[in-house]
A and B are shown apart, each in its own frame.
Chain A
Amino acid sequence: MEKVLEVRELSKQYTKVLAADKVSFDIEKGEIFALIGPNGAGKTTTIRMISTLLKPTSGDAIVAGHSVIKDAAKVRECITYLPDEAGAYKNMTGKSYLRFMAGLFSTDIDVINRYVERAERICGLGDRLKDKIGTYSRGMIRKLLLARAVMTEPKLAILDEPTSGLDVLNAIEIRKMIKKLAAEEGMSFLLSSHNMLEIEFVSDRVGIIAKGHLLVSGRADELKERYSAQNLEEVFERVVKDNEIL
């Protein structure tokens, strides 16, 4: 299988904290990989390094053949990134925001139009897209940003807590959308989440990260078997507790 992402011993040292310590994992084409871990585990830090926003202290990540260190510009052409806490330009309408962001990914007007139409369909905001983003609710902004993250058909969509701030129905809808895009279009996803139910439903493989270490990774059912657990939540609990003792 073709690898979309190869993370090689990626580390990030902040002034005081070692937020990621030699994190390694792969994502294949059309695969959905989820990073799970307690607060402050280093999920966002890892994701930001892969998104070329932060420079790794050591290690590297290869996105579709391009190194995030040497070829950051090329990497950005292959990915989209949805930050965990993101906003949109309040003075723009939803539609003009989509158009603006599409314009950053392509100069071809037909392509831009196709991206915008796609996002309009996906976000499900209907006529509200004509309103200023300043008038949107938090969930509406989230849906707009999610639609924008997948509209450009990236090889790898990096979504940091994609469903945070969404109600149950909207969250389900988003999960279905992610699964559909992966299955039908071969889009790969790197997610992070606290919601084990969500992870179990949506992801093909998960990586459990705590204190900057990627402790285990594998398919959800494999992990459940290995730790003789009922669900992912128990796996998570055991893995994190086991490693605290060490």
Chain B
Amino acid sequence: MVDTSGDDYSAVLRDADADSLVIIPEGFTEKLENGERPEMISVSGMKSAAAMSNITNSNSGAIGLISECISSAFAAKAGLTAEQVELLQMPVTVTEQTVVKDKSAPIGAASIMSSIMMKNMILPIIVFILIMFTSNMLMGAISNEKIDKTLETLLSAPVSRTAILGAKMLAAAIIALLNAVVYMFGFSSFMSGATESVSEEMTGQLVGQYISVDSALERLGLTLGASDYILIGAQLFLTIMICLSVSLMLGALVNDTKQSQTMMMPLMIMAMVPYLISMMADINSLPAVIRVIVYAIPFTHTFSAMNNIMFGNMPIFFGGLAYQFVVFVICMFFALRLFNSDKILTASLNFGQKSKFKKNTSDNE
């Protein structure tokens, strides 16, 4: 029994020490017997805004159960037998089967979907953060040399430009790697909590008829082995390398702080578009034209890697890997050329022109 005077349902949840509950108000039975439709109040405690944290609402189960009991009570009153009532409530039996390529498992596609989706969410998030973070860092490392006017001094020192680039790239790559490891552990421990609780509930609801989500994944060949993770690692590495070479070029073109923000845009879009698309749609089933365009963005292959490996689309995966390698080589070639040419400096000469004006005025004094 809870006291529901007033509108403060948080107190109700607190008093009952529950995450969520269904309130059956006083006079519920009387209203039912009078043939009216009584009211029930479903109170759900929300602990976070993350989509996954509220994926199952246990109240709907409870409400369904109560409604079911009430309808069977009505049915019994009307003179139906228990068997008839059961048939009425579930006129057909559904056995769900999910098929992946040539394998199948007796489980609902929805359960597989939700389980995979969670696991597949980890990688894209990490990759996206990594791309943004790494490119921002390296671009800053290059453009700050220009903005703070330390670049000329550095380039006149007895160190080759390629060595300077190499050092900056290496530093950024190491930090990216450290970040990747940290994010990977953080996210996977966070996500595994969520995944476990959901798959437990899923199997809990489906005892008897179905097998557990994990064993279904295994039977469908949707689990990832060590070699798969190595492939994903290779893809991630190439992605970071592309990211580094592109940010080298963008950083070299920056002249002031304002520009450095604008220069992030191309990379941002290149990462954002495939990230969102791969979250929302299966790229392989998009219309051919759109598919080609989306796959032309090198980062798309990174975001779809896990999916392609899981569902055995190996030609697309390896094609993507090869494509990314080619993109990386081309970008690196142009980055090196940019750095070994005058362009890296001549853009910064804008400053010289501004200062000329200043010098003129001070000469007149």
A residues whose Cβ falls under 8 Å from a Cβ of B: 14, 39-40, 44, 48, 51-55, 73, 76-77, 79-90, 101, 104-105, 145, 158, 194
Determine the distance from Cα of A79 to Cα of B160 in the docked complex, in whole angstroms: 14
Beta-carbon contacts of B136-151 to A below 8 Å, as 1s and 0s?
0000000000001110
> What's the least CB distance linking B305 to chain A, in Å?
38
Binary CB contact string for chain B from 150 to 191 against chain A (1 if under 8 A, 0 otherwise): 101111111110000000000000000000000000000000
Is the contact region of chain B dominated by helix, strand, or loop, or is it mixed? helix
Q: Which of B19-27, B93-101, B351-359 contacts A (4 or more CB under 8 A)?
A: B351-359
Residue numbers in B under 8 Å from A73 (CB-CB): 158, 160
Closest 4 CB pairs of A and B: A81-B156, A87-B149, A104-B157, A76-B158
Residue of A nearest to B341 (CB): A55
A77 to B158: give the CA distance in the assembly, Å. Answer: 5
Task: List 13 A-B residue pairs with CB atoms under 8 Å apart, sorted by A's residue number.
Answer: A48-B152, A52-B156, A53-B152, A55-B342, A73-B160, A76-B159, A81-B152, A85-B355, A101-B157, A104-B159, A145-B153, A158-B156, A194-B359
Contact B156 A86 (CB under 8 A): no
Distance in Å: Cβ of B146 to nearest Cβ of chain A? 10
Q: Does B365 contact A (CB under 8 A)?
A: no
Q: Which residues of chain A come closer than 8 Å to B152, judged between CB atoms?
A: 48, 51, 53, 81, 83, 86
Asked if residues A85 and B345 are in contact (CB atoms below 8 Å), the reply is no
A39 and B345 form a contact (CB under 8 A): no
A40 contacts B356, CB within 8 Å? Answer: yes
Q: Which residue of A lies closest to B147 (CB)?
A: A87
Rounded to whole angstroms, the CA-CA distance of A245 and B236 in the bound complex is: 65
In the complex, what residues of B have CB within 8 A of residue A81's CB? 152-153, 156
Q: Is the CB of A89 within 8 A of B158?
A: no
In the assembled complex, the Cα of A76 lies from the Cα of B153 at a distance in Å of 11
The answer on a CB contact under 8 Å between B352 and A76 is: no
Q: Are B160 and A53 closer than 8 Å at their CB atoms? A: no
A80 to B155, CA, bound (A): 10
In the complex, chain A residues whose CB is within 8 Å of the CB of B149 = 83, 85-87
In the docked arrangement, what's the CA distance between A79 and B156, Å?
8
B363 on the A face (CB < 8 A):
yes
Q: Which of A40, A52, A86 contacts B153 (CB 8 A)?
A: A86
Q: How far is the CA of A40 from the CA of B360 in the complex (A)?
A: 11
Contacts A53-B156, A76-B156; is A87 near B148 (CB within 8 Å)?
yes
Q: Contact residues of B with A, CB < 8 Å?
A: 148-150, 152-160, 341-342, 345-346, 351-352, 355-356, 359-360, 363
Asked if residues B157 and A105 are in contact (CB atoms below 8 Å), the reply is: yes
Neighbouring B residues of A89 by C-beta, 8 Å: 148, 150
Is the Cβ of A83 less than 8 Å from the Cβ of B153?
yes
B156 engages A90 (CB within 8 Å): no
Contacts of A85 in B (CB 8 A): 149, 351-352, 355
In the complex formed, the residue of A with least CB distance to B146 is A87
Chain A residues near B345 (CB-CB < 8 A):
48, 53-54
A44 vs B159: C-alpha distance in the bound complex, in angstroms? 22
Known: A39-B359, A89-B150. A53 touches B158 (CB 8 A): no
Contacts of A79 in B (CB 8 A): 156
User: Which residues from A are CB-within-8-Å of B355?
Assistant: 84-85
Chain A: minimal CB distance from B285 (Å):
49
Knowing A55-B341, A87-B150, A90-B148 touch, does A39 contact B360 (C-beta < 8 A)?
yes
Query: With A and B bound together, what is the CA distance between A158 and B356 in angstroms?
Result: 20
CA distance A116 to B352 in the complex (A): 30
B157: chain A residues within 8 A (beta carbon): 76, 101, 104-105
- Chain B residues contacting A40 (CB-CB under 8 Å) are 356
Q: Are B156 and A51 in contact (CB under 8 A)?
A: yes
Additional pairs, 17, CB under 8 Å, beyond known A84-B352, A104-B154:
A40-B356, A48-B152, A51-B152, A55-B341, A76-B159, A77-B158, A81-B153, A85-B355, A86-B149, A86-B150, A86-B152, A87-B149, A88-B153, A90-B148, A101-B157, A104-B159, A194-B359
Minimum distance in angstroms from B321 CB to a CB of chain A: 36
Whole-angstrom distance between the Cβ of A55 and the nearest chain B Cβ: 6
B356 to chain A, nearest CB (A): 5
Q: Contact partner of B156 among A39, A55, A80, A88, CB < 8 A?
A: A80
CA distance A82 to B152 in the complex (A): 8
Among B148, B156, B359, the most chain A Cβ lie within 10 Å of the Cβ of B156
Distance A87 CA – B342 CA, assembled complex (angstroms):
20
Whether A39 pairs with B153 at a CB distance below 8 angstroms is no
What is the distance, in angstroms, from B344's C-beta to the closest C-beta of chain A? 9
Q: Among B153, B160, B352, which residue has its beta carbon within 8 angstroms of that of A82?
A: B153
- Kindly state the separation between the CA atoms of A83 and B150 in the bound complex, as whole angstroms: 9
Output the nearest chain A residue to B344 by Cβ-Cβ distance: A53
